[in-house]
Amino acid sequence: MQQTDPNASQTPGNDDQLVDGELETLSRQLGEAETKLAEMRETVLRERAELDNQRKRLQRDLDQARRFANEKLLGDLLPVLDNLERGLAADGDITALRGGVELTMRELLRVAETNGLKAVGAIGEAFDPERHQAMAMVDAGSAPGQIVSVMQKGYVLNDRLLRPALVSVSK
């Protein structure tokens, strides 16, 4: 009897060699895939560790920034504090004490302005409901809507209102 299948091998030994060859190829490919998988797992673990370390570094930097955010401002205020201590330690003339307090106040205002603080609510200024709080409406010789007296100054920090000025406004 004759074999009619063209794919059939002629000898049974050839089948074993083909299977062994394919098995060897598949084993080699499996080994390569397992090696790549192990490398990828290691890479993923390293990346996760790096991300975790970066997150911890950022958190630590953020905590440090919060803790020392006022460092510059407080450093600028130290001379003001020194002047106040000198003024309290001084004995004697009231006019000299007043002069020292005025100098200290000017120094404090300079430090505040350097750090973005500005006073609002000057007499003669137009009333602005976003920056001023009218405490009274008075008949005055000035134009309507003008500030005629300031009961308490308001302050703005870098264009953000910290405290509105308490003012009297002309009718």
Place of tokens 């950022």: 58
CATH entry 3.40.50.720 includes domain 116-171 = no
Q: Beta strand pairing status for 154-157 and 117-120?
A: antiparallel
Query: Tell me: the pLDDT tens digits for 135-171?
Result: 999 987 778 889 999 999 999 999 899 999 999 999 8
What's the confidence (pLDDT) of residue 1?
46
Per-residue pLDDT, averaged over 28-56, amounts to 96
Place of tokens 């003001």: 80
Rg (CA), the chain: 41
Count of beta carbons in the 10 Å neighbourhood of residue 55: 10
Q: How far, CA to CA in Å, does 96 sit from each of 46, 82, 102, 138?
A: 69, 16, 10, 38
Cα 62 to Cα 55, 72, 75: the distances in Å are 10, 17, 21
Each residue's pLDDT tens digit, 67-110: 888 888 888 888 888 888 887 777 777 887 888 888 889 999 99
**Most distant pair of Cα atoms in the chain: their distance:** 136
**The two three-digit tokens of residue 21, written as one number:** 């060859």
